Structure 1
Amino acid sequence: MPFVTIDGRPLHYIDQGTGPAVLLAGSYLWDQAMWAPQIAALSQQYRVIALDLWGHGESGALPAGTTSLDDVARQALALLDHLDIDRATLVGLSVGGMWGVRLALSEPQRLNGLVLMDTYVGVEPEPTRQYYFSLFKMIEETGVIAPQLLDIVVPIFFRPGIDPQSALYQDFRAKLAALPPERLRESIVPMGRITFGRDDLLPRLGELDAATTLVICGDQDKPRPPSEAREMAQLIGCPCVLVPEAGHISNLENPGFVTEALLKFLARKR
């Protein structure tokens, strides 16, 4: 498993396939394995890189001095530099899209395209931010995501009609329950505060290249509803695609639809 040291910490990533580069950036609380269906399909034609966010998967702890999503975008650029990749298409879901927009705005010449999935770059609505911060405080104090918190957190990521006994649901719940206290306190909670305490980038969305940008959203995404996706797409001037029968992790709830949408978008760029 390849690692690169960035800001003094080991960042884990996978690098599969050959061709134009595609960088997959996933959701908070998920690791690069969430992209398995897309990696399998896209790597037939593309060089696919998927990274683990700090404190997630195999990556090390959040580096000291990482205080904003701009830092995370800079660290992702360092990964591309390490891999000698001049240009890539960035597919960012949730927090991956939040820092992905920052990368696109700061270094537009490094991207061939940008796909923003189930994400929002405006500020978090204040009641939601306070609610999430209260959950972070509980996790920080107890050093565990307790069963009653799992009952709250896990359903957020899926469409309302998902079978809670499904492997997708149960595996995610088990992963969160198994997170060790030091990882929660040193990385997961601080990363959550960075994510949900972000500043507003909506006024800058017009700077993105509409011709090389796509917004995708699960039609039943609860934390990042389609209304937010449409708002961003309108500000960018780019298409907005809704994924049927999908919640926040739309690429896993309807992998075939998402993979097809990504292949279509990438083919347009070749």
Structure 2
Amino acid sequence: MPVAVIDGQPLHYIDQGTGPVVLLGSSYLWTSDMWTPQIEALSQQYRVIVPELWGHGESGPLPAPTHSLDDLARQALALLDQLDIKQVNLVGLSVGGMWGARLALAAPERINSVVLMDTYLGAEPEETRQYYFSLFKMIEDAGAIPEPLLDVIAPIFFRPGIDHESALYQDFRKSLQSYSKKQLLESIVPLGRLIFSREDILTQLPDLDSDTTLVMCGEQDKPRPPAESEEMAELIGCSLILIPDAGHISSRENPDFVNEALLTFLANHA
């Protein structure tokens, strides 16, 4: 994977295909693997760029000047500048949508279109914020993700009925065990706290272009339920697509449906 140095740290990214650029923003605790089916489908017609989150995959630790989602948006913009990319079609899932929307609002001239997937631009509800912070404290104290926590965290990302013996589920569960103490303490936990203490920017959503924005959500997404996506689509005035048989990582749970929806949308807007 190529690497860019941003805020003094190495940011690894995938750069595949040619044509109009599609920038894919990933979920917390997932590497670029979460987009494997989309990279394959989209790179036939588009240049697909997928940066790895700090502390994830091969990317370096969270840079010191990273205090908010606005900083993640600024860093993604710095990557585009280094690659001399003027405009992108941005597809962000979960935290990828959180910083992606901020990038689109801060630099609308750089954006052709935006797809917000399984994400929410409001603040984290206080009850879930406190819950996630308690998990971060347990991880911090243990210097690892303890075995019992694996069975708490992994199911959050999938539809309730997923087969826990499936390769998709097991591979993700194993990936949670692979983080070193250093990665967890320097990047994963601080990045998590930054994500879940984010500011509410729902009032800014009407500033997004309703004609070139799409909201998508897994019908069975638990952490980012469809009601949140409905609220955002209404504020933007754009279309909403609910993804059947999918939870939070809809790109992997129903890749064919997601690919078709993205290809259809991009054919009209890229």
**TM-score, normalising length: structure 1:** 0.99
The answer for the alignment partner of 1:115 in structure 2 is 115
The answer for the alignment partner of 1:36 in structure 2 is 36
Where 1:99 maps in the other structure, the secondary structure is: helix
Cα-to-partner distance string for 1:129-149 (whole Å, 9 max, x where unaligned): 000001001101111111110
**Superposition misfits of 4+ residues, deviation over 2 angstroms:** none
The answer for the alignment partner of 2:65 in structure 1 is 65
CA distance in 2, matches of 1:82, 1:30: 24
Residue type of the partner of 1:212? Answer: T
The answer for the alignment partner of 2:152 in structure 1 is 152
The answer for the alignment partner of 1:223 in structure 2 is 223
Residue type of the partner of 2:129? Answer: R
CA distance in 1, matches of 2:195, 2:209: 24
The answer for the alignment partner of 2:214 in structure 1 is 214
CA distance in 2, matches of 1:58, 1:51: 10
Deviation of the 1:112 alpha carbon: 0.3
CA distance in 1, matches of 2:23, 2:234: 24
1:94-173 equivalence runs, <5 A: 94-173=94-173
Q: CA RMSD in A?
A: 0.5
CA distance in 2, matches of 1:267, 1:178: 38
CA distance in 2, matches of 1:67, 1:137: 19
Residue type of the partner of 1:114? Answer: V
Residue type of the partner of 1:162? Answer: I
Residue type of the partner of 1:140? Answer: E
The answer for the alignment partner of 1:20 in structure 2 is 20
1:88-99 equivalence runs, <5 A: 88-99=88-99
The answer for the alignment partner of 1:242 in structure 2 is 242
Residue type of the partner of 1:178? Answer: S
Where 1:36 maps in the other structure, the secondary structure is: helix
CA distance in 1, matches of 2:265, 2:58: 30
CA distance in 2, matches of 1:178, 1:114: 32
Cα-to-partner distance string for 1:2-51 (whole Å, 9 max, x where unaligned): 00000000000010000000000010000111100000010000000001
The answer for the alignment partner of 1:85 in structure 2 is 85
Where 2:114 maps in the other structure, the secondary structure is: strand
Residue type of the partner of 2:30? Answer: W
**TM-score, normalising length: structure 2:** 0.99
Where 2:120 maps in the other structure, the secondary structure is: coil
Cα-to-partner distance string for 1:112-140 (whole Å, 9 max, x where unaligned): 00000000010000010000001001101
1:50 and 2:72 aligned: no
CA distance in 1, matches of 2:141, 2:67: 21
Percent identity at matched positions?
68
Where 1:152 maps in the other structure, the secondary structure is: helix
Where 2:224 maps in the other structure, the secondary structure is: coil
Deviation of the 1:65 alpha carbon: 1.6
Deviation of the 1:178 alpha carbon: 1.5
Deviation of the 1:269 alpha carbon: 1.2
Residue type of the partner of 1:253? Answer: E
Where 1:33 maps in the other structure, the secondary structure is: helix
The answer for the alignment partner of 1:200 in structure 2 is 200
Unaligned ranges ≥5, structure 2: none
How many pairs were matched up? 270
Cα-to-partner distance string for 1:51-93 (whole Å, 9 max, x where unaligned): 1000001100000120100000000001111111000000000
CA distance in 2, matches of 1:175, 1:166: 14
Cα-to-partner distance string for 1:163-198 (whole Å, 9 max, x where unaligned): 000000000000101210000000000000000000
CA distance in 1, matches of 2:65, 2:134: 23
